[in-house]
A and B are shown apart, each in its own frame.
Chain A
Amino acid sequence: MIPSIPQPRFLTAAYTAYVVLFFIFLALPLVVVAVFAFNDSQFPSLPWEGFTWNWFFGSERPMIGVFHERSILRAIGTSGFVALFVSVLSVCVGLSNAFLFNRYRFRGQGVLYVLMLLPLVIPGIVLGISILVFSSRIANGLWDGFGMDVEALRPGLLLVVLGQFSFITTISTLVIGARLKKFDRTLEEAALNLGAGHLTAIRTITLPYLAPAMIGAFVVAFLMSFENFNTTLMLVGSDAPLTIAMFDRLKEGSTPLLNAVSLLLMVGSSCLALIMIAFQRKA
C-alpha cells in the first residue's frame, strides 16, 4: 500500500490512527518526566500541587534545586568530561579506520572489518567486565612485578573512558566511513593535478568533505557516552557520572529533582541534536 494505490478509506484512517498512537506512546514517558519537574510536591506524581521552579533553583530543604545540588552538578561535570574525551578519541580513531578500510586493500582486511563490527554485538556489561578484569590483571602484574601501583588501571574515569571508547569507536567508524564511501576520488586527483601533495589534498579537499560526518560522529559519540549505563556501571570508581549518580538516587526513591535533571538532559541533548542536524543540512 502506497498513496498511489487506492485503498478503502477506513483502512487508511485506521493506519493513520495507529501511527498517531505510536507517537503518543513514544512521547508519553518523556512528557510525564518533563511536566512533573514543575510539580510543587515531594513526589513526581499526581495530584498536581501547583507550578514551581524550585526543583531547578530552590536552595532550601526540602526543595533543593538542581543548580544548588553539589553532587548532581559534579556528576554532570564528570559525565561531560568523560564524554568529551570519548568523542574526541573515537572520532580520531574512527577517521583513521575509515581511511584504512576505504583506501587500502590488504590481506585480512575482511576479517578485520568484521572484528571492527563486533563491539556492536557484545553486550555492554560483558565489555565492561572484560575490561575491568583485564586492567586489574595488568595492574596486579605491575604491582607484583615492579612494585608499581598504577591507580589509573583500577575502576575509575580512565577505565570508563576506555570502556565507552571500545564500542563507540565502531559507530564513529561507520558514520565517517559511510560518507567517505560517497566521496568522489577524482576531486582528490584534481587537487593533485593542480599541484597539491597527498597530505595537502586530503587536508584541503577530503577532510572538509568529511566534516559533517565527523561532527555527526562527535555528537552521537558524546550523547552515547553521556547516557551510557551498562559499561560504565562495571568500571566506575568513586567519581560517578550522571547516569550512575541518578541511578543510585532513584534506588533510594524518586523526587522531582530527578525530573528536573532529566528535563535538563532532554534540553541539552535536543540542542546537540539540532546542532548536528543543522550541520548535516549545510552539507
Chain B
Amino acid sequence: MTPDLECTDLTKRFGDTTAVENVTFSVPPGSFFSILGPSGCGKTTIMRMIAGFLEPSHGDIRIKGRSVLNVPPNKRPVNMVFQHLALFPMMNIADNIGYGLRRAGLSRADIDRKVQEALERISLPGIGARRVEELSGGQKQRVAIARCMVLEPDVLLLDEPLGALDLKLRERMKVELKSLQAAFDTTFVYITHDQSEALVMSDAIAVMNEGRFEQIGTGRDLYYRPDTAFVAGFVGDTNRWGGRIERLDGDSMALRTDTGMILRGATHGRAFAVGDRADVFVRPEAIRISYAEDDLSQFDNRLSGRVTSILFDGAASRVIVSGADGPGEIEVNLPQSGEFAALTKGAEVHIGWASDQGNCFAAGAR
C-alpha cells in the first residue's frame, strides 16, 4: 500500500543554518504520526514544507505517491490545523467550515449539508450561526479540525494545536483527537513538544532534535528502547550517570561512575570497549524502593541511602534518595500501595534495579 505521506531526504536551509537535515519518513494510511521535539528543533519547518508554505532546499515530499513539490499550498491535498487555529474571526462558524467547500465551488445546498454533517461529527450541532469568539477553547479546536476535514484531505497536519489550552482540557482533547482521527479515518501528522500528547495519541512517533530525526518508532519503543541518549533523556523522566566502562560481558556491562560507584547496565546491542566513557539512564519507575535490603536481592544494582525530599504528586509521587557513598541524588518512584505512606525525610531506605533497565550510551552523545 502506498503511504499517504512520504518525505525523502527533506532538507531546509535558511542562509547558513540548516533547520531540517535529511529527514526521511513515511506515514501509512489512516495512522496517527507525531513529530516530537523541543522548540526550535525544526518540526514546524517540516510541517510548513508539507503544507507548501516553505520550499524544501532538497528532497521530495510525496502524497499518495505523487510529488507535491510543484503544487501550490491551495492545491495540495493536505490541510492544516494551525497553532493558534487561525479560525476566521470575520465569519461565523458555519462560514468557517464552509470556506474550503466554497473555494471548491460546491453548490450552496451541498455546502450547507456538509457543514451540518461536520458539526454533528464533532458533536457541536446547531452552533453554525455563532461567532468564533463565542466558542470555548475546546470547541474552537474541534471547529478547526472540522473545517479541514470537510475537504477530505489525504493528510491532516496539526501544529501543536493543544498548546493554548489549559491542562485539564488538554488531557480531554488528547483522547478526543484520537477518537476524531479514528472517526474520520484520515492520516494525521501531529507536531508537539509535549511527550505525553505524542505518546498517548500516536501510532508512530519521530523524535526530532536539531533538524534531524533521532528515532522513529512506537511510543513503547521510544520509552523502553531509546536509540540515542537524546531520546532516552527527552522522552520520559530519567536518572543519568556518567562514568567509565569497567567490564563488558555480551549485552551487560558495568560502569564506574565518577563518584566511584559500580553500576550495571545493558548495551542493547550498541558497541562499546572497556575504558570508554558512557552514560547510563535509569527511569525512576524502574527502581524499587524498600525498607529492607533483603527485598531487593533479585536486583543486581543495589544502593542504600537517605530520603532527602519527598515530591508528592498523587500517583506520580517520587522521592529523592541520596546514596550513602553513591552517585548523588536518585529519583525513585514511590509505590502508592500504602506501605510508604509514612515515609519521612531522612528515613533510611534501600533501592535497587535490574541491570537491563539501565540503558547505556556513549558519553558525549546527546
List residues of chain A with CB under 8 Å of any chain B CB: 4-6
Contacts and interface: CB of A to CB of B under 8 A. Distances in A.
Contacts of A4: 48, 53-54
Interface in B54-79: 54-55, 72-73
A5 B48 contact: no
8 nearest CB pairs, A to B = A4-B53, A6-B72, A5-B73, A4-B54, A5-B53, A6-B55, A4-B48, A6-B52
Interface of B: 48, 52-55, 72-73
Contacts of A5: 53, 72-73
A211 B52 CA distance: 46
Please classify the interface of chain B as helix (H, G, I), strand (E, B), loop, or mixed, using the class held by over half of its residues.
Answer: loop
Contacts of B55: 6
B143 to A, nearest CB: 23
B79 to A, nearest CB: 15
A188 B186 CA distance: 53
Nearest to B54: A4
A51 B54 CA distance: 53
Contacts of B73: 5-6
Nearest to A5: B73
Contacts of B52: 6
B52 to A, nearest CB: 7
A69 B198 CA distance: 78
A103 B320 CA distance: 51
A4 B45 CA distance: 12
A4 B54 CA distance: 6
Nearest to A6: B72
B328 to A, nearest CB: 40
A166 B72 CA distance: 54
A6 to B, nearest CB: 6
A4 B73 CA distance: 10
Nearest to A4: B53
A105 B191 CA distance: 46
10 contacts: A4-B48, A4-B53, A4-B54, A5-B53, A5-B72, A5-B73, A6-B52, A6-B55, A6-B72, A6-B73
Nearest to A2: B53
B36 to A, nearest CB: 24
B351 to A, nearest CB: 46
A5 B71 CA distance: 11
A6 B48 CA distance: 13
A197 to B, nearest CB: 38
Contacts of B48: 4
B239 to A, nearest CB: 41
A224 B252 CA distance: 82
A88 to B, nearest CB: 41
A138 B209 CA distance: 79
Contacts of B72: 5-6
B73 to A, nearest CB: 6
Contacts of A6: 52, 55, 72-73
A5 B54 CA distance: 8
Nearest to B71: A6
Nearest to B53: A4
A10 to B, nearest CB: 16
Contacts of B54: 4
Nearest to B72: A6
B252 to A, nearest CB: 52
B147 to A, nearest CB: 19
A231 B48 CA distance: 55
Contacts of B53: 4-5
A4 B86 CA distance: 16
A209 to B, nearest CB: 29
A131 to B, nearest CB: 41
B45 to A, nearest CB: 12
A203 B245 CA distance: 67
Nearest to B55: A6
Given A4-B54, A6-B72, 8 more contacts: A4-B48, A4-B53, A5-B53, A5-B72, A5-B73, A6-B52, A6-B55, A6-B73
